[in-house]
Structure 1
Amino acid sequence: MAFSKILISCFLLLPLVLQMVQAQQYPPTGVVNTPTPGAPIDCEAACLVRCSKTKRPNLCRRACGSCCKRCNCVPPGTYGNYDACLCYATLTTKGGRKKCP
């Protein structure tokens, strides 16, 4: 009886623990990802992660790479999180659409 209660507790707490672990991987909301001056980030690796789930990875990596070189930052994750890199979020195309994936 006690073993089954412990097992049930573990299954109920597992999603909460996973959420906490995933939340620690990204900077908190409102934190701007600005590397130290003179220390460029690895744009190729950052864009590879950013574009890993897109249907058009080559197009995504090309646009991301262009934005990364200008801003020297790429937001974490595969989508959103633009508040972590404001320069990346504000770049637009000639048509006024967001340039950076």
Structure 2
Amino acid sequence: MAKLEASFFFFLLLCIAVIDLSQAGGEGSLTRAQCPHACGVRCSKTHHRGNCLDTCNSCCRACLCVPSGFVGHKDECPCYRDRKTHDGKPKCP
């Protein structure tokens, strides 16, 4: 009986890990509370840090996603990628 319980517990942990990995990154993967940290990473190498953080946080709150890295990778977050300014230029850094 103990072996069965241990096997079930291991299986449950494995399922939780798989679910967590499948939800890592991508649209809606962040909470609003996580946006400042994600944008801090995204904007850490720019010379216009304040503007970048303001815009990134706005985009993150709307999309609940920030692409990985400092630049590029916007295909990870289509909502983030597709947001435009009034001039039709990309809004999100």
With structure 1 as the length reference, what TM-score do the two structures score?
Answer: 0.63
More helix by share: 2
Separation in 1, partners of 2:47, 2:79: 25
Match of 1:82 among 74, 82, 91: 74
Aligned length, in residue pairs: 69
Mapped contact 2:66–2:80 kept (Cα < 8 A): yes
Identity %: 43
Give the Cα separation in 1 of the matches to 2:28 and 2:58.
17
For 1:99 and 1:34, how far apart are their aligned partners in 2? 17
Unmatched tracts of structure 1, length 5 or more: 1-31
For the 8 Å contact 2:67–2:74, the answer to whether it is kept is yes
The gaps in structure 2 that reach 5 residues or longer are 1-24
Q: Which residue matches 1:14?
A: none
Looking at structure 2, the residues matched to 34 and 55 of structure 1 have their Cα atoms a distance apart, in angstroms, of 27
